[in-house]
Structure 1
Amino acid sequence: MKKSVLNDPRVMYHSDKFPVQKTQAEPALQSQMQPRPDCGEASYVGTGKLLNRKALVTGADSGIGRAAAIAFAREGCDVAIQFVPGEEADAKEVKGYIEDEGRQAFLLPCDLRDEGAASWIVHETVDAFGGLDLLVLNSAMQVAIETLADLPIQQVEDTFKVNVISMFESVQAAQKHLLPGSSIITTTSSQSFDPSPQLLDYAATKSAISNLTVNLAQYFADKGVRVNAVSPGPVWTPLQLNKGQLPGQLPNFGQGSLIGRAGQPAELAHMYVYLASDDASFVTGQIYGINGGTNINL
């Protein structure tokens, strides 16, 4: 029988249960995770799809944002990296990967809950790079709760500030800099379409992001700016170790997906590149699920 050249998606990445590990204090660091997420550091190979473009990626120190930032740099893009203060170690690693490609990297430590922070990162990126072509709004807050009674209203406010309100502010600040051909990419979630009770506030923000993405695509259409979203499912990122899962649930994280495992950030990088590039010139107002099989219905 001829040997297959195909790869079984069920075992291409980490497919076992995750080891028990301590919940990290905020902010959680990718460097302390076991196993470390695969963000394409050793595998992503660029082909110049984003040559000389200038990008701002929020939450780019780790996880999905990190994978997108590394991929963008290997496609020829300069990248500004927003991250929460305390995540400098992870952010400096990403900066190194970007500069290894001969591209500019710019670190932007700030908490998106702070007033004016979301517009500040846009202004700083434009000042550093002389423009802005790609805006990737990926930063997120996720804290699981046992019951509705356990959900502090302050947490609800903070989650909406980071996940939704900062998006409005960043887009408002960026719109005058986005020329025809620019692209805005948001990160929503399968929680937008299939919410979990332990993630009431997080799921609500992701639903808002899905709606906002489709709406912004209409707003920016006559300006030549495309707006799309990536919708991850269970992906192994530091978000899960910073109270993102209920106690005891982490070992089984992602095991219930149709593929039978959690995803890795590297598996999403190509979609961000596609949506940022001219390959997606006829694509706007779309939400792409990379989630192990969760159905998407807006």
Structure 2
Amino acid sequence: MTGLDTFEKNTNRAPNHPGPGFREQTQNPPGTTAAMTPEPDHGENSWVGRNRLEGVRALITGGDSGIGRATAIAFAREGAHVAISCLSSELEDARRTCELIDVDGGGSCRVFETDIRDEKRARELVDDVASALGGLDVLVNNAGTQWGRRPNGLEDVTADQMRDVFGTNLIGTFLVTQQALKYMKSGGSIINVTSIQAYDPSGNLIDYAATKAALTNFTANLAQQLGPRGIRVNAVAPGPIWTPLITSTMPAESIPEFGRNTPLGRPGQPSELAGAMVFLANNAEASYVSGTVLAVTGGRPIF
């Protein structure tokens, strides 16, 4: 047996993720996981915990599906006590997220229905989570929305759409983070979900891209503010990821080409974000990582 043979037998290979070329499909926002073909991979059958987040108390906004669900599964299997927030229309998916979590690693999952666009409810969410978990160590600002069915670009953007996108992606994140600082102590970690759109924006996502660019700046700014308190702040910038946000907000005819423009030639799956999230939440592995944006984009650059 050659050294190459040994390498090939022992290499930890990535799963064979599907796409591009998904069939045309559409659903009403916010969309559900079960209505997607194929259903996204959140690591339900693949993530194996190694107690990297044992005892950590984490809030994940928008944890009902997509990247939020994958993060919740990974965190809980790593031993974290997880709280996920969702809109009332997303409760079924949120409950399914908790059902998918195998808590053999000592973790747990709770669901909190709220709308972070509402200041009172955003602050109450954090208070309720901190009370239920006995504190808060990690905040993942994942909740987000977009609208991409705009053939005329800016001319198709309505004021209500703009308020919805900025209210969820930016203002809601600010409110939740501000309230979380009342509970987070040295060793805490804040992870914002920005996007490739912050660096390489699509014309029909002009408002969404603007909020993600702002979150990138917010990440760098907040890391400087909170560093003296021992709280790390980072962001993950996903590329095209197969989630209900895509099938419920993008034109159906764009779905077969979704993700084809990446160097890897396919869309990413939510499970492929989980490793980045666990790394940034882990004080042992990422103790000196703050103020950075970690790209999970299939090879598309963010610099």
Q: Same fold (TM over 0.5)?
A: yes
Relative to structure 1, is the Cα distance of residues 253 and 247 closer, same or farther in structure 2, using a 3 angstrom cutoff?
A: same
Which of 207, 229, 251 lines up with 2:256 in the alignment?
251
Structure 1 counterpart SS, 2:119: coil
Residue-by-residue CA offset, 1:42-68 (whole Å, 9 max, x unaligned): 000111111011000011111001111
Shift of 1:112: 2.2
Please tell me the root mean square deviation across aligned C-alpha atoms, in Å.
Answer: 1.6
Q: Match of 1:254, as an amino acid?
A: G
Alpha-carbon contact 1:30-1:37 (below 8 Å) kept: yes
Write the distance in 2 (CA, Å) between the matches of 1:194 and 1:103. 37
Q: Write the distance in 1 (CA, Å) between the matches of 2:33 and 2:103.
A: 20
* Cα drift, residue 8 of structure 1: 7.4
Instruction: Provide the rounded CA distance (Å) in 1 between the counterparts of 2:192 and 2:20.
Output: 30
SS in 2 for 1:30: coil
User: 1:115: Cα distance to partner?
Assistant: 3.4
2:62 pairs with 1:56: no
Whether contact under 8 Å (1:99, 1:105) holds in the other structure is: no
1:14-71: CA deviation from partner (whole Å, max 9, x where unpaired): 13411122x2112200121110100000000111111011000011111001111000
Matches within 5 A, 1:1-298: 4-5=8-9, 6=11, 12-21=16-25, 23-98=26-101, 100-101=103-104, 102-144=106-148, 145-147=150-152, 148-243=154-249, 245-278=250-283, 279-297=285-303
**Normalising by the residue count of structure 2, what TM-score does the alignment of the two structures yield?**
0.93
Label 1:12 to 1:239 Cα distance change in 2 as closer, same or farther (>3 A).
Answer: same
Q: 8 Å contact 1:138–1:187 — kept in the other structure?
A: yes
The count of corresponding residues between Structure 1 and Structure 2 is 294
Per-residue CA distance 1:215-268 (angstroms, 9 max, x = gap): 00001000000000000000000000112x234101110011100000001111
Question: Which sections of structure 1, spanning at least 5 residues, go unmatched?
Answer: none
Residues 250 and 7 (structure 1), Cα distance of their counterparts in 2 relative to 1, 3 Å cut? farther
TM-score scaled by length of structure 1: 0.94
Q: Which amino acid aligns with 2:234?
A: N
- With 277-286 and 247-256 compared, the bigger mean Cα shift is at 247-256
Q: What is the percent sequence identity of the aligned residues? A: 43
What letter matches 1:126 in structure 2?
A: A
TM-superposed deviation, 1:7: 7.2
- Tell me how far 1:99 sits from its aligned partner: 5.9
What residue identity is the alignment partner of 1:13? H
Q: Which moved more, 1:190-199 or 1:104-113?
A: 104-113
Alignment partner of 1:86: what SS? helix
Aligned partners of 1:134 and 1:184 also within 8 Å: yes
- What secondary structure sits across from 1:185 in the alignment? strand
Query: Does the CA-based 8 Å contact 2:86-2:112 persist in structure 1?
Result: yes
CA drift at 1:114: 2.5
User: What does the per-residue CA deviation read over 1:169-213, in whole Å, with 9 as the maximum and x for residues that have no partner?
Assistant: 111101121110010000000000000101000000000000000
- 1:155 match: secondary structure: helix
**Residues 99, 261 of structure 1: CA spacing in aligned structure 2 closer, same or farther, 3 A cutoff?**
closer
The answer for unaligned runs of 5 or more in structure 2 is none
- 8 Å CA contact 2:54–2:107 kept in 1: the answer is no
